[in-house]
């Protein structure tokens, strides 16, 4: 059983930075990717950044965050980070940590086996 717990959300002004952290317990190596998804009010959930859980070196980013967000995974500590820089109001959303059974590029497109494992979410609010 995989359990995920996010922290680090908050409010920031436009062009500011935030760092999200996800602590994982359970058999995370049975999943191919870990990553971050977000959902804004009235919008569908979208993938933000994914990383493979085996080597922690293969990443995939949504076009809207590429160059601004960086995902990393520490296998030993079982922690997933999302460093978010140059934040924009359109980044405002609930951010969810997830572990899914698919390679990062496939997970970015919303394709994985089963339902995946999800955290409770942490709110990020960016004001202009």
For residue 37, the model assigns a pLDDT of 98
SS3 (DSSP) at 108 = helix
User: What is the reported pLDDT for 28?
Assistant: 74
Strands (E), 1-128: 3-7, 10-13, 18-25, 33-39, 46-52, 59-61, 69-74, 79-84, 93-101, 113-118, 122-127
Residue by residue, pLDDT tens for the chain (128 residues) are 889 999 999 999 999 999 999 999 988 766 789 999 999 999 999 999 999 999 999 999 999 999 999 999 998 999 999 999 999 999 999 999 999 999 999 999 999 989 999 999 999 999 99
């Amino acid at each position: 059983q995989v359990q995920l717990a996010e922290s680090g959300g908050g409010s920031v002004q436009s062009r500011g930075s935030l760092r999200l952290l996800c602590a994982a317990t359970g058999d995370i190596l049975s999943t191919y990717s870990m990553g971050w998804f977000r959902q804004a009010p009235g919008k569908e959930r979208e993938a933000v950044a994914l990383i493979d859980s085996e080597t922690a070196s293969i990443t995939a980013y949504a076009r809207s965050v590429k160059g601004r967000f960086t995902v990393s995974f520490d296998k030993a500590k079982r922690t997933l980070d999302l460093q978010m820089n140059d934040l924009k109001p359109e980044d405002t959303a609930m951010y969810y940590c997830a572990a899914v059974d698919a390679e990062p590029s496939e997970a970015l497109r919303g394709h994985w086996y089963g339902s995946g494992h999800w955290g409770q979410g942490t709110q990020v609010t960016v004001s202009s």
